Amino acid sequence: MLSRLTKRIFDRQSAELRKLRRIVHQINCRYHELSSSSDEQLQSLSRQLRSQAGEDRSSPHVKFEVFALAKEAVRRISGKTLHDVQLMGGWAMTERNIAEMATGEGKTVTSILPIYWFALQGHGVHLITANEYLAARDYAEMKPIFEFLGIRVGLNLAGSSVKAKQEAYQKDVTYGVCSEFGFDYLRDHLARKPEERVQRSLAYALIDEIDSILIDEARTPLIIAGKTKASPDLYYVCARFVERLQENRDYEVDRELNQVTFTDRGIQTIETVFMIDNLYHLENTNVYHYLLQSLRAKALMKRDVDYIVKDEKVAIIDAFTGRILQGRQYNDGLQQAIEAKEDVPLSPENVTHAVITIQKYFSLYTYLTGMTGTIRSEAEEIQNLFGLDIVAIPTHKPIQRSDEEDVFFMTRQEKYSEIMREVKKRHAIGQPVLIGTTSIEQSEEVASHLQALGLPYQLLNAKEEEKEASIISAAGLKGAITIATNMAGRGTDIVLGPGVAELGGLHVIGTERHESRRIDNQLRGRSGRQGDPGSSCFYISMEDELIERFASEEARQWRSTIQWRKIGTREPALMRWIERVQKRIEQQNHEIRTFVYVLDSIVHDQRVSFYEHRKEVVDGQDIQYFLRGHLVRYVQQWMETHAPREQSPDEWDISVLSRESGLRPNLFASDKKLANGLELAQIITSYFDAKLEDLFSLENRSQCCKKWRSVYLQILDKAWMRHLEQLELLKLGIQFRKYGKQDPVQAYKEDAWKLYGQMEETVRKKVYDAVLKERLHKGRQFSGKVG
Ligand SMILES: Nc1ncnc2c1ncn2[C@@H]1O[C@H](COP(=O)(O)OP(=O)(O)OP(=O)(O)O)[C@@H](O)[C@H]1O
């Protein structure tokens, strides 16, 4: 069964590659013809293509022309001749595929081809990179080529002004980091005036390192948060208190699931110290929450692994990229709990104003594609979520890097001694070495070992971000020793210095396996680029963090069954085992992502419809019409409760009706005998119609629209924020609450829609109250005037 599936994929791939080869032949024929044209002729052709591409998107001939012209432009400006495999990768991306191209194959310049084709369609292309360093680097490198072709390029940086961002988005191509595009989308939907928005419609997105973004980053949603002041005392008190608690006596830690729980003994201590009867009682929820977060801060969050403290601030380190997650904070009070533990000033707590998952953000684009060296293992997820296929493009030259088998050690100390021996040996002949680590702490540990041996090195981690470019540019030179966290694991191009190829190229040492095999392969991929020679090897000890967290039991067994040697053991069974552990973690992470995604999909429909409505309001659509809609629905709903159809008017309690509606009793006790509640509803509605007509009368219409737009937006935004808060609680709830036989996702869906309905009711009520309270203009009187 499996082999049939593999065969089908293989057949599809080979057919796809055959097709791409034919296409490449056509492109190259045209490219050769273009080589004799002058620059002006090529530029005029580009202008002509701009008009054609928009009209005739399906014609392959226009596309051949576009690709041939781009290839010629790359040659004239950068001096590089695009390889056939690059043309293949570029073309695959224009056909809703992800191009899987090995590390170092030149994806950056390949991307010019599909970007140019998309840009000619005239709707704007977003080129998404995994970090700002790559965005700025690719922007600067690609700009001259695009400009030659008459394509305008912009860079969207975090922290730029609204005007600078608008300009960047108006360009044909906009480079930037994934989270910044997502945040701009959210901010645009919080804007109170159209001119505060920065994005155009979301048309084309090409994601570089697409697995990093759609898979690794996708566990944490993007959140725009407002601030409320944290209660510092309680955080500091809790932080000091949990310092005294002991693992296994007062609390337990599940490192695999990343959870902490208090033991009965721990709870007793808390109840005694905080002088409370029952920690789980509703009135103590707050204390419990603070204590739990403080305990998580103490037991699960490690300085220089999960976060760093810089300038008295706590910044999150992304485990996949080794970089600071700019602009992001731990939520739910964990940030403040860590700050209290580190004894730095507390940042204000977050109130969510807007939130979206990365997967959902990218599903908003009309056209999505991307490229990476490492995505095959996640093909199914990508296909299910985005309907994208993966085309594996062959390498230009055979890969010459030799990936050695992992070496295993009993202890960390033995591992580091062997790594040092290896580094020393290679350094002695001048071969450059890159040592990859999984955390800042580990990178510093390696540095101290090198220091002790008197070996020169460069250290690249999130604390030294500023030096990134210069460290990387020297990493391939003779004799260089570079220690780096995963920061150097993606996109970084280490070019070999003179004479280095003869020494065997760059040697990569992995000091620990990462949770995901893709990240390890990215690290290996810093070497052996463009057919260069190179080598890589991972060193693993039974005391590694990954093993202690996820496979400590199994490691115990291996300790007694293997013939260990101080200089390391190469054992196929251990290799297979470590891969199995990684696969298990990948599966766990996949489940977390799917859960986050499924829940966000439910909210997504609500978000889209809320944002659409909000946009209409901001864009100046008839505000009176919206208000009236709410009033009519509110009155109908209200009547159903207080004067239901089946009741005769004699049964109405006029004083209750008057009190509940805020209208004068004489409106209900009208001279006319009313037949039923419906007639009463009509009377009330016409009262409000008359009131709205007065408020929005011609002489003060524009002023009034402005004022009511602002009032209405405030009502909408408050209600939405409250809704998000409720959804967050609901989400927490479903992890703890037992739904009996009910599927938790289904239960979440039903409750989420109920909450949405409640939010709409709140909006109606607030609009009703606001209009009711509004004073009429002088000289006007209606029978039901507010009492
Ligand atoms: N056609 C070409 N001819 C010569 N050199 C090229 C060509 N294409 C790319 N290169 C060079 O190859 C190196 C690797 O390119 P690049 O960094 O874009 O690779 P990549 O595929 O993005 O790698 P990674 O997967 O690690 O991000 C760069 O130094 C680039 O200048």
- Tens digits of residue pLDDT in 152-205: 999 999 889 999 999 999 999 999 999 999 999 999 999 999 999 999 999 999
With bands split at pLDDT 50, 70 and 90, how would you rate the model's confidence at 596? confident
Give the alpha-carbon dihedral of 73, 78, 82, 86, to 10 degrees.
-100
Could you tell me the distance, in angstroms and rounded to a whole number, from the CA of residue 114 to the centre of ligand 1? 16
Question: Which pLDDT belongs to residue 730?
Answer: 77
Of all residues in the chain, the percent with pLDDT exceeding 70 is: 92
Q: What is the largest CA-CA distance in the chain?
A: 106
Instruction: Report which protein residue has its CA nearest ligand 1's atom 16.
Output: 106
Q: Is residue 159 part of an annotated ligand binding site?
A: no
Scanning the structure block, which residue is given the tokens 């829940």? 599
What pLDDT score was predicted for residue 671? 52
Of the listed ranges 9-13, 28-32, 172-176, the one predicted with least confidence: 9-13
Half-sphere exposure of 46 (CA within 13 A, CB side): 25
Which of 113, 138, 397, 493 to mutate to test ligand 1, by most ligand atoms within 8 A of the CB atom? 493
**pLDDT, tens digit, 9 for 90 and up, residues 207-264:** 999 998 888 888 778 888 776 656 678 889 999 999 999 999 999 988 777 778 888 8
571 assigned ligand-binding residue: no
- Report the alpha-carbon distance of residue 447 to residue 484 in Å, rounded: 10
Closest CA to 228 of 377, 331, 94: 331
476 is in an annotated binding site: no
28, 87, 107, best to mutate for ligand 1 pocket (most atoms within 8 Å of CB):
107
Cα 777 from Cα 694, distance rounded (Å): 7
- pLDDT tens-digit series, residues 740-779: 556 778 888 888 999 999 999 999 999 998 888 877 655 4
Torsion angle, CA of 193/199/202/206, rounded to 10 degrees?
Answer: -160
Q: Tell the residue nearest (CA) to atom 23 of ligand 1.
A: 104
Residues 6+ apart with CB under 8 A from 92: 16, 20, 98, 99, 391, 393
**Best of 105, 372, 536 to mutate for ligand 1, by most ligand atoms within 8 A of CB?**
105
What DSSP state is assigned to residue 394?
P
Least confident of 79-83, 358-362, 572-576, 671-675: 671-675
- The answer to whether residue 410 scores a pLDDT higher than 70 is yes
State mean pLDDT over 487-509: 90
Q: Which of 471, 473, 393, 475 has the alpha carbon at shortest distance from 434?
A: 475
CA 86 to ligand 1 centroid distance, Å: 10
User: What is the ipTM metric for this complex?
Assistant: 0.98
How far does the centroid of ligand 1 lie from the alpha carbon of residue 108, in Å? 6
CB atoms within 10 A of CB 721: 16
Measured from the Cα of 396, ligand 1's closest atom is: 1
pLDDT averaged over every residue in the chain:
87
Give the Cα separation of 382 and 374 in Å (integer).
Answer: 13
| Weakest-pLDDT range from 26-35, 105-114, 126-135, 254-263 | 254-263
Which has more confidence, 782 or 430?
Answer: 430
Residue 547: Cβ within 10 Å count: 20
d(CA 109, CA 128): 14
Q: Which residue has the higher pLDDT, 25 or 277?
A: 25
**Contact predicate 287/267, CB 8 Å:** no
Output the 3-class SS for 213-275.
HHHHHHHCCEEEEEEECCCHHHHHHHHHHHHCCCECCCEEEECCCCEEEECHHHHHHHHHHCC
What is residue 453's DSSP assignment?
H
Tokens representing 245 are 């608690």
- β 222-228/349-356 pair status: antiparallel
Q: At a CB cut-off of 8 Å and minimum separation 6, what does 742 contact? A: none
Q: Mutation test of ligand 1: which of 519, 530, 536 has the most ligand atoms closer than 8 Å to its C-beta?
A: 530
Q: Name which residue sits closest to atom 8 of ligand 1, judged by CA.
A: 106
Tell me: is residue 510 an annotated ligand-binding position: no
Q: Are 82 and 59 in contact (CB under 8 A)?
A: no
Identify the residue whose C-alpha is closest to ligand 1 atom 12: 106
In this predicted model, which residue has the larger pLDDT, 548 or 506?
A: 506
DSSP state of 516: S
Q: Which tokens in the block code for residue 688?
A: 């409000």
* pLDDT for position 734: 66
Q: What is the pLDDT of residues 302-356, one digit of tens each?
A: 998 889 998 888 988 887 777 887 777 787 788 999 999 999 998 887 777 888 9
Domains in the chain with CATH codes: 1-222+358-392 (3.40.50.300), 230-347 (3.90.1440.10), 402-570 (3.40.50.300), 603-773 (1.10.3060.10)
Instruction: Grade residue 670 by pLDDT with cuts at 50, 70 and 90.
Output: low
Rounded Cα–Cα distance for residues 241 and 263 (Å): 15
Atom of ligand 1 nearest to the CA of 491: 27
787 annotated as a binding-site residue: no
Distance 104 CA to ligand 1 centre (A): 5
Task: Report the C-alpha gap between 213 and 199 in whole angstroms.
Answer: 20
Residues lining ligand 1, judged by CB closer than 6 Å? Answer: 80-83, 86, 101, 103-109, 373, 491, 493, 495, 525, 529-530
pLDDT of res. 592: 82
Global pTM reads: 0.83
Q: How far is the centre of ligand 1, averaged over its atoms, from the C-alpha of 300 (Å)?
A: 39
Q: Is 405 assigned a ligand-binding role in the annotation?
A: no
- Our CA dihedral for 268, 271, 272, 277, rounded to 10 degrees, sits at -110
| Residue 81 Cα: closest atom of ligand 1 | 1
Q: Which atom of ligand 1 is nearest to the CA of 495?
A: 29
What distance in Å separates the CA atoms of residue 699 and residue 470, rounded to the nearest whole number? 66
pLDDT digits (tens, 9 = 90+) for 671-686: 556 667 777 788 888 8
Residue carrying the six token digits 């001048």: 430
DSSP 338: H
Q: What spacing in Å lies between the alpha carbon of 107 and ligand 1's midpoint?
A: 6
**Does 718 appear as a known binding residue?**
no
| CB contact at 8 A, 244 and 255 | no
Q: Do residues 406 and 487 make contact, with C-beta atoms less than 8 angstroms apart?
A: no
